[in-house]
Amino acid sequence: MSSEFDLIRRHFSRAVRHTDLGVGDDAALLRTRPGMQLVVSTDMLVSGTHFLPDAEAQALGWKTAAVNISDMAAMAAEPRWITLALSLPSANDKWVEDFADGFAACCMCFGVDWIGGDTTRGPLNLCATVFGEVPQGHAVLRSGAKAGDDIWISGAPGLAALGLQHLLGEIVVDEAWREACLLALHRPQPRVALGLALRGVATAMLDVSDGLLGDLGHILEQSNCGALIEDALLPLAPVLVASGDGALARQALLNGGDDYELLFCAASAQRDALRDLSEQLQLPLTRIGAITEQSNVIFLLAQDGTTEAVRPQGYDHFRGGL
Amino acid sequence: MSSEFDLIRRHFSRAVRHTDLGVGDDAALLRTRPGMQLVVSTDMLVSGTHFLPDAEAQALGWKTAAVNISDMAAMAAEPRWITLALSLPSANDKWVEDFADGFAACCMCFGVDWIGGDTTRGPLNLCATVFGEVPQGHAVLRSGAKAGDDIWISGAPGLAALGLQHLLGEIVVDEAWREACLLALHRPQPRVALGLALRGVATAMLDVSDGLLGDLGHILEQSNCGALIEDALLPLAPVLVASGDGALARQALLNGGDDYELLFCAASAQRDALRDLSEQLQLPLTRIGAITEQSNVIFLLAQDGTTEAVRPQGYDHFRGGL
């Protein structure tokens, strides 16, 4: 069994590119660029709550970095630095190496320096804290949505939820789509380029981690407004093909989390610009509805013209299971 | 049972004083002052490894903040901001309130804004990330010790170790000293004022969390030097009175961690200045030895003139118990 200090030295000391002092002292040292605000977020992942106990180490490393970096994308910030604290039941060298490789790979992909952390013994728990930069006053918050704004979602949300249900044996995803669903679940892609491009365009934004409707509720609450979502606009095609079941697909799309797509609002004058951006980034951007005046309520407009009011409810780690 | 969002709203949203945006969005926003480096450290505390499972919630909250803030002191940095991620077996409202109060109290005492975090369900785990500022190039690292430097320790190290042994039923600390030992264990005082005063004075520094000799080893390794510690100089009196046992006292002093005192090196020309500083801060500062040329070895000089070589070995969370 390796010692804690050996583990850190061997796997956690990676080269840094824009950091004054990385792993090895009581703290790391870094400098933000002039005119920039520092953007800080922390996310903790727990076995059985955020991932299955038998999750593959490298994928878990990727995901731990990705869900944190996604919070930078959601603020229209450039991710720059990250720390990782983890508690492990035992010091399994191979597991730690794989996990560290996955974590470092995701950091590399998004230009993030891994600057420090902490390792200790205990039930498996992964806690990263990520730091980004945004020109002062240019972060996109949850609180800026206005009645009349369009509501947009990136990518093909719902695939990760189908992947999880497949792993849990609740459904069987067709082989042709299985890989895509498992990739969405295990290797989520933080939408950093999209987040940066939405500075000055999006009026409110967040990343969907707990379900599209629930997370939309956070925007409505903080912007003090409501939303009308049109069934006919929803990007149902990918989840429908993957699941082969309309009700299931709709459920995965509206309530599944874990895809880490960006949900954002923008004035309707931005529609053309957003279609261009979608092409440029090769990433679907779908307008799914509009912001309304009435506070804290989401109306779902069905294709037959009827509406249903939904109370926004985010995924609650003290209520839901995985 | 409260929901996650209720819990956050009720207990984790505290007023901030030097932060642009605190709890409630995807990330917090802050600005470092011109000419300052940002100093970043993260520490994870796990039940059974860092504290007893029945630890009192308010004390645990204090300690979670304190051990992190102590890392800022150890860098000669001014602590400014902190995030807290925690996983809890259940959403016990009273426990969370007490814990949050203890955490917030420590932050208040040291001028730290609590700017965000994450709560989730899982085995009890507390992970804070702290941010400080230091004028560029003025951080005191572990790597600056030079042969001939004096070695100093603050306070009365060893009391926390006695407090823990008392709680574990391994020893009985005399009633007159019990409170002091338990306070050292449960309410460690990060030596922030001392750390700041040592800018430009200390050549190397860290906070003792894993044992005086073990942590001294980190300085020796990074400064590529050795140390001679004189038994006759050690601040044994407090631990000796508290434990009533010479061998036990020496053990608690040299190998006990958890007091979060500062261990630092300074040129001998600084002795008078350090004695003045000790009076000014009303905090004992004890010169316990000197840095030597020979790499990575600590010699203990006994009062009879004999020396004993000790291999520095830090507390290892994968080897030791509590």
**In the predicted model, what is the mean pLDDT of residues A276-300?**
96
Cβ A122–B46 below 8 Å, yes or no?
Answer: yes
Residue A312's pLDDT band, with cuts at 50, 70 and 90, is low
* Pairwise CB contact (< 8 Å): B42 & A117: yes
Residue A318 to residue B5: CA distance in whole angstroms = 10
Report yes or no: A198 and A253 within 8 Å, Cβ to Cβ.
Answer: no
A–B: how many Cβ contacts below 8 A? 235
> Which helix (H) or strand (E) element contains residue B228?
strand B226-230
Chain A interface disruption, residue of B16, B19, B40, most A CBs within 10 A: B40
Task: Please state, in angstroms and rounded to a whole number, the distance separating the CA atoms of residues A32 and A19.
Answer: 10
pLDDT exceeds 70 at position A315: no
Nearest-Cα distance to chain B for A4, in Å, is: 6
Q: Which among B3, B40, B86 has CB closest to A28?
A: B40
| Nearest residue in chain B measured CA to CA from A321 | B121
Distance CA B103, CA B108 (A): 9
Q: Determine the residue of chain A that is closest to B35 in CA distance.
A: A31
Tokens of B133: 């500022």
Name chain B contacts of A117, Cβ cutoff 8 Å. Answer: 42
Mutation test of the interface with chain A: which of B10, B13, B16, B25, choosing the one with the most A Cβ atoms within 10 A?
A: B25
**3-class SS at B37?**
strand
Give, as one character, the DSSP assignment of residue A33.
Answer: P
DSSP codes joined into one string, A193-237: HHHHHTTTTEEEEEE-SS-HHHHHHHHHHHHT-EEEEEGGGS--H
The residue whose two tokens read 């965000």 is: B116
Q: Angle at Cα B284 formed by Cα B283 and Cα B289, nearest 5°?
A: 140
Gap from A63 CA to chain B (nearest CA, Å): 16
Residues in chain B with CB shorter than 8 Å from the CB of A121 are 46, 49, 317-318
Q: Does residue B85 contact residue A68 with C-beta atoms inside 8 Å?
A: no
Rounded to the nearest angstrom, the minimum Cα separation between A122 and chain B is: 6
Could you tell me if B244 and B317 are in contact, meaning their C-beta atoms sit under 8 angstroms apart?
no
Q: Answer whether B118 sits within 8 Å of A43, measured CB to CB.
A: yes
Task: Measure the CA–CA gap between A195 and A264, rounded to whole angstroms.
Answer: 10
Interface contact flag, B38 A39, Cβ < 8 Å: no
Section A3-11 average pLDDT: 73
Distance of CA A37 to the CA centre of its chain: 21
Domains by residue range for chain B, with CATH: 4-135 (3.30.1330.10), 150-309 (3.90.650.10)
HSE (side-chain half, CA atoms, 13 Å) at B316: 14
Chain B: nearest CA to A242, how far in angstroms? 30
Question: ipTM above 0.90?
Answer: no
B266 CA to chain A: closest CA distance, Å?
18
State how far residue A121 is from chain B, nearest Cα, in angstroms: 6
Query: In this predicted structure, what is the pLDDT of residue A317?
Result: 56
Compute the mean pLDDT over every residue in chain A, rounded to the nearest whole number. 91
Tens-place pLDDT, residues A26-40: 899 999 999 999 999
Residue A83's DSSP bridge partners are A116, A129
Q: How confident is the model at residue A257 (pLDDT cuts 50, 70, 90)?
A: confident
**Count of beta carbons in the 10 Å neighbourhood of residue A145:** 26
Asked if A241 and A235 touch (Cβ cutoff 8 Å), the reply is no
Of B26, B129, B139, the CB nearest to A207: B26
Report CB contact under 8 Å: B28, A50.
no
Q: In this predicted model, which residue has the larger pLDDT, B12 or A201?
A: A201
Q: Which of B127, B141, B199, B218 should we substitute to test contact with A (largest number of A Cβ atoms within 10 Å)?
A: B127
Q: Which of B230, B208, B239, B213 is nearest to B287 (CA)?
A: B230
DSSP strand E in B31-77: where?
A: 36-46
Higher pLDDT, A274 or A12: A274
Burial class (CB in 10 A: 0-12, 13-18, 19+), A73: buried
Question: What type of residue is B274?
Answer: L
Q: Which of A40, A210, A222 to mutate to test the interface with B (most CBs of B within 10 A)?
A: A40
Compute the distance between CA of residue B111 and CA of residue B279 in angstroms, rounded to an integer: 23
Whether residue A8 is predicted with pLDDT greater than 80 in this model: the reply is no
Burial environment of residue A201 by CB neighbours within 10 A (0 to 12, 13 to 18, 19 or more): middle
Nearest chain B Cα to A72, which residue? B27
Higher pLDDT: A60 or A315? It is A60
Residue numbers in A near B222 (CB within 8 A):
24-25
User: Which whole-number Å values give the CA distances from B204 to A172, A252, B105, B266, in the listed order?
Assistant: 59, 55, 30, 7
Structure token pair of residue A69: 């970096």
Nearest C-alpha neighbor of B16 from the set B114, B118, B128: B114
Provide the strand spans (E) within A58-212. Answer: 78-88, 113-121, 125-135, 150-154, 202-207
B209-243 per-position pLDDT tens digit: 989 999 999 999 999 999 999 999 999 989 999 99
Rounded to a whole number of angstroms, the distance from the CA of B141 to the nearest CA of chain A is 7
CB contact under 8 A, A7 and B314: no
- For residue B4, the chain A residues in CB contact (below 8 A) are 314, 316-319
Amino acid at B172: V
- The single residue listed with the structure tokens 């874990």 is A258
Determine the Cα–Cα distance for residues B20 and A33; give it in Å rounded to an integer. Answer: 17
Report which residue type is found at B43.
Answer: D
Comparing C-alpha atoms, which of A50, A64, A42 is closest to residue A257?
A: A50
Q: Tell me whether residues A75 and B32 touch, CB distance under 8 A.
A: no
CB contact under 8 A, B43 and A85: yes
With beta carbons less than 8 A apart as the criterion, state whether A139 and A77 touch: yes
Neighbouring C-beta atoms of residue A224, cutoff 10 Å: 13
The larger pLDDT score, comparing residue A320 to residue B272, is at B272
Beta-bridge partners for B228 = B290, B299
Q: Which two tokens stand for residue A233?
A: 């606009």
- Percent residues over pLDDT 90 in chain B: 77
Which amino acid does the sequence have at A66? A
Map residue B146 onto helix, strand or coil: coil
- In a 13 Å sphere around the CA of A216, the CA atoms on its Cβ side amount to 32
Give the residues of chain B that fall short of pLDDT 50. Answer: 1, 319-322
Q: Tell me the C-alpha distance between A196 and B102, whole Å.
A: 38
Please give the pLDDT value at position A320: 46
A120: closest chain B residue by CA: B317
Picking from B194, B177, B182, the residue whose alpha carbon sits closest to that of residue B283 is B194
Q: What is the dihedral of CA A184, A186, A192, A198, to 10 degrees?
A: 30
How far apart (Å, rounded) are the C-alpha atoms in residues B304 and B297?
Answer: 20
Beta bridge partners of B298: B227, B310
Give CA separation, A111 vs A20, A69, A207, B129, B299, in Å: 16, 10, 19, 21, 45
> What is Dmax (Cα atoms) for chain B?
64
DSSP code string of B260-288: --EEEEE-GGGHHHHHHHHHHHT--EEEE
DSSP, collapsed to helix, strand or coil, labels residue A3 as: coil
Q: Confidence band (pLDDT; 50, 70, 90) for A115?
A: very high
Closest-CA residue of chain A to B37: A31
Q: Are B123 and A123 in contact (CB under 8 A)?
A: yes
